[in-house]
């Protein structure tokens, strides 16, 4: 079989696998239908047996001349239930047969795929040493291009991972700041006591811890982004806890409002950072998709080159 014919057969595998997945879902549903219809048939059979076993109800039906009508009705319902059950069983059997045939076809195609991959490997090895002809040069260029693309994909994925960590920490910091802002408002206008102070500052402490964590994560993200072209990393100022001492020892509405204003400024800063991170993640995902497309094209051109070898 030619390499082109083998490749055509290999391309059939994902199509057959998708069909097998759909088929397996249909089999699961059909199994449920068979179980349900069997229960219905068994129920109708029991109803029929009760009518035929000279029960009190059948005796009464005979007395009023309704026995034959009732018997015919139960017989018809039993027959209908049996026919529905038989149809479901037959359909399930046909699905199982189709599944087995499909699995057999996929296994045969997998053998062809192994042969195809083995031959491609042999041709790659041959081309690696043919640096003095056009095919060898083309293959070397494709290999260099592929290495560059794979490296770029790796860098983008690492940057995405770093950005996800920053986003998670920023969301935690924002949540703490929003809570601190609510308690600061309560402190300022409702004259809260030591409990509200403690709660407010526990939220501020939590936000400060996340800001310190963010500083480290942002440095890591900057490093990752330096390997990805065309992206600018936003700066982040740290929260100062100096206002806390003033508020604790000189408790009045002015310092309470000052702390609230500072907390809200910090929250706005985090919100801006989150918008920047989401924009960076969107750009990274776009670059990742583009690089993956380039890699697919590279592999396709390599495959075409290998198939065309004499």
pLDDT, one tens digit per residue, over 95-148 is 999 899 989 999 999 999 998 888 888 888 877 777 667 877 787 888 888 888
Q: What's the DSSP call for residue 100? A: H
Distance CA 124, CA 130 (A): 10
Distance CA 243, CA 187 (A): 15
**Stated pTM of the model:** 0.55
Contact (Cβ atoms closer than 8 angstroms) between residue 189 and residue 258: no
Q: Is the pLDDT of residue 307 over 60?
A: yes
Per-residue HEC secondary structure of 215-259 comes to HHHHHHHHHHHCCCCCCCCCCCCCCCCHHHHHHHHCCCHHHHHHH
pLDDT, one tens digit per residue, over 252-267 is 444 555 666 777 777 7
The domain segmentation of the chain, as residue ranges, is: 3-129, 139-307
Q: How confident is the model at residue 301 (pLDDT cuts 50, 70, 90)?
A: confident
Asked: is 139-307 a CATH 1.20.120 domain? The reply is: yes
Q: 16 is written with which tokens?
A: 């057959």
């Amino acid at each position: 079989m030619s390499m082109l014919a083998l490749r055509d057969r290999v391309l059939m595998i994902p199509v057959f696998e998708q069909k097998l997945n759909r088929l397996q879902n249909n089999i699961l549903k059909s199994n449920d239908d068979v179980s349900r219809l069997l229960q219905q048939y068994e129920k109708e059979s029991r109803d029929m047996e009760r009518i035929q076993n000279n029960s009190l109800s059948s005796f009464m039906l005979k007395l009023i001349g309704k026995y034959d009508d009732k018997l015919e009705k139960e017989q018809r319902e039993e027959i209908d239930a049996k026919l529905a059950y038989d149809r479901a069983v037959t359909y399930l059997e046909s699905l199982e047969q189709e599944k087995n045939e499909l699995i057999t076809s996929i296994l045969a195609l997998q053998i062809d795929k192994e042969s195809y991959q083995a031959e491609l490997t042999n041709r790659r090895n041959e081309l690696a040493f043919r640096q003095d002809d056009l095919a060898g040069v083309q293959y070397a260029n494709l290999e260099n291009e592929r290495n560059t693309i794979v490296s770029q994909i790796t860098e983008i994925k690492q940057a995405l991972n770093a950005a996800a960590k920053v986003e998670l920490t920023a969301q935690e910091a924002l949540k703490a700041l929003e809570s601190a802002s609510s308690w600061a408002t309560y402190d300022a206008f409702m004259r809260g006591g030591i409990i509200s102070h403690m709660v407010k500052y526990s939220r501020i402490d939590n936000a400060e811890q996340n800001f310190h964590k963010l500083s480290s994560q942002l440095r890591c993200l900057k490093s990752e982004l330096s390997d990805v072209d065309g992206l600018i990393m936003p700066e982040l100022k740290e929260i100062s806890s100096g206002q806390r001492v003033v508020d604790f020892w000189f408790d009045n509405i002015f310092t309470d409002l000052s702390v609230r204003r500072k907390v809200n400024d910090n929250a706005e800063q985090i919100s801006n950072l989150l918008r920047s991170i989401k924009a960076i993640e969107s750009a990274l995902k776009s670059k990742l998709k583009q690089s993956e497309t380039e890699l697919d094209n590279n592999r396709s051109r390599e495959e075409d080159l290998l198939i065309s070898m004499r």
